[in-house]
Chain A
């Protein structure tokens, strides 16, 4: 059972959360103008890396807020957590 750091409530047990898949997959600003491939990309395609992965969680049995976590999919090590809408820490630098 993971220990997930909620930016508002602190570290809490995984059972209090619901997983939301890859983070930073933005809803297209104007969906009607994107082509089929770009739309399919948005709806169906997600990364599946071995290593650090920015993903969404919601503290469903707590504050009910969505936020993002960078978790290593191999070791489950959590290296960053930040509110929804905030950029991934260090992402701008790389």
Chain B
């Protein structure tokens, strides 16, 4: 059974391949080659969408991405549905299920499992648009041997030719020419053609992104194209006219009506009126008539269109009203008649169910404008056209505002030759454009006996004069049923309101009215909005201009942009060699940059607080072990490393003895602390630097920057060895016993192996370096071995520590232990506005030049009331201050805002060692406030805390050599 509106013959659909699809719960049939929109029209479905704000029925308005009306949700069995697709761009496939939308789409809650790929390609010439101009350009460029990529959004090439059977090239139908040229490009080994591929954006230096739709397990491909030259042959988009009721289903762009007849063999109505400002409306009228549709009238806004044009319609017995306007379309769910105001002021009502409208043609300048190519207003065609290109770009075809097929092909050939030449490829033989004729074809059943009547000479502007007409005022002077932006439900009245509110720029009017902000990006509305505003403001169109075009040209799904970079592949996860042990022992992970680090090691359902209290108690009471492999490590070699480090760190390293370690602080040129860590001297010309986990790459970059750009004379090489050394920190008063057991050849006595030294040693049978450094204040050793030996050494330490109840601990306990000692974490306690002096670390700032030293003398950096690093003890020893809490004085409590902020909490924990909560903070003039009480207002409560020194535990550093009884 053939659907009622399907024409018996013609079209580019494959009638041998019927396709079943569902729409709003009803099953329909279409053909391969249909879009959802053409299949719905063929089945007589008028209302596809209900508009966003006014809930008006909307039908198919255009035949491509410019359609503002046919938003549907496409359901995919077993997978996430896709909201807000345009029925005019959804290719019909068997089993497709779509639902109409009221207003917005429905966001899918299931994970989108669709797969998309990214591809990168470099070409000599990228041609965007596969109409006559683009095909000609690709052929011409391909003949030179240049690498050519031609992309077109359609399922097949041809552009406007797909809907123009009357145009003959070299005496043959346009299709034959397209096939011949496509066949020729297939013999160019460096030419590739992508269909269903929409250029989303054009960017600097010949960069373009192209979204290609595929039907298969991979749904699409995002091409990243770098082209030496770009030929834009993006064509032109027809625009409508705003009149009362211009949003009714059955009102359609004239070119779309023609496309549905010629390409999809669908009759978009039974009785049509064509309303036009230019000659192309006549082409549509003749297409409809040929298809057997009763064309009741051509309403031509021009008072004196070319006689030859009018004759084409009248010869087909189509009445033509010149100097006439369609003032209104009436009907509820579908147009039933239009009111035509004739030149003499009479209003006639013409019954019809299809009103095909052509208000003129806007060159598709979107990509041209993405890269800031300039545009100007062309009075002759009443549209904005490309002016000066920006970047390696040529324009050809209808994009230039020249609308004949002959011009398109000639311009395309020339642009292709020029682009290839500028890309370094010479033309090998002369390109010859075909001979083009446009012939008025007889209308079936009416003029079969008559010979073709009119030959239009190639090169003549085929759209004739264009009447400057954007709006037809309603008889009663009301503007609010004259739609400008159908997707946004915005009307001429909205533009009036915007201008009345004082807005002058089309950019502001766009934001005020929302015209052009919907997913169709105002393809059919932008120029009309500018025209209405220009008239109200009394300014010419050239001055009013257009709003800015930005990528993407059509909506792009996040899945497509992400490609395979999702889930586990969205960002690398770095783990240490010991990670499997941590996971096996139930440690939850904390993200530290890209690293996954064990957060804590809960026993028997412990909470994090319980686990951390147990872990920290074990470390301070006996011995704990932590995986410190993620510490940034940089191997520095060369005779000038010492001198270099003296400039990088605030303290001196050139004097450090081989075998010793030193804690260092580095600043940016502005004097603010950038990183810290312990650096050890391995040999006269070799140092081992450690950095904070999250800053390792930044520190290496920092060293490289200074070595390369300021001090290239220094003989220093810096190499990241973070992932070469696994680091096991053995911490606590019994750590000496454990390390002695693991490193039997190492003299671990206090005298032989003092604090802040390192020794080479065999560690659990493998070569390693042992550093006696501490990030907890306890006696501690950091065992460094080859990465692949990390887990074996960890397990050896666990075994050796078993008699002492050795306790693995994670990042949370590490934070508590260091905070009790007032050791700052750069990037948590500091934020890029903190000097070493602010941290109370004047002792580490040597009187010598280093990066940032000069900044410490600046008056602002030396102010006494800067925020300083202090400790806080909540008055209630169980109250835990939230990190980030703002601190104020007591007198500020309850005062009218704004009250002065004294500072903020940077770290806050429960402490087993202190038997209470504590915090670290940056506080204005903090060191002079020690003993004062400050307050953290937290909305429903206030926590008061006493200011203390930042060092809350073991201020005498009595524990770093171990407890006396633990020292054998």
List the interface of chain A (C-beta within 8 A of B). 1-3, 13, 18, 20, 26-28, 30-32, 34, 36, 39-40, 42-44, 56, 58, 60, 64-66, 75-76, 84-85
Contacts and interface: CB of A to CB of B under 8 A. Distances in A.
A75 B391 CA distance: 8
B701 A34 contact: no
B205 A1 contact: yes
Contacts of A44: 670
Given A20-B705, A43-B669, A85-B709, A1 B855 contact: no
A59 to B, nearest CB: 11
Contact of B853 (A2, A20, A31, A66): A31
B207 interface: yes
Contacts of A27: 669, 710
Contact of A39 (B224, B701, B855): B855
A40 to B, nearest CB: 7
B500 interface: no
12 contacts: A1-B204, A3-B207, A18-B701, A26-B710, A32-B849, A39-B854, A39-B855, A40-B858, A43-B855, A60-B701, A66-B705, A84-B712
A19 to B, nearest CB: 12
B226 interface: yes
Interface residues of B, number: 26
B121 interface: no
Given A3-B206, A36-B858, A64 B849 contact: no
A94 to B, nearest CB: 23
Contacts of A18: 701
A18 B701 CA distance: 10
Nearest to A26: B710
B203 interface: yes
B226 A13 contact: yes
B709 A76 contact: no
B570 interface: no
Contacts of B712: 84-85
B202 to A, nearest CB: 11
Nearest to A56: B709
Contacts of B963: none
Interface of B: 203-207, 224, 226, 372, 390-391, 669-670, 701, 704-705, 708-710, 712, 849, 853-855, 857-859
Contact of A31 (B390, B709, B849): B849
B204 A76 contact: yes
Nearest to A20: B705
A32 B205 CA distance: 44
B709 A75 contact: no
A69 to B, nearest CB: 12
A1 B207 contact: yes
A76 B391 CA distance: 9
Contact of B704 (A39, A64, A75): A64
Contacts of B206: 3
A42 B669 contact: yes
Contact of A3 (B226, B701, B708): B226
Nearest to B850: A31
Contacts of A42: 669
Contact of B854 (A1, A26, A34): A34
B858 A39 contact: yes
A40 B857 CA distance: 11
B853 A32 contact: yes
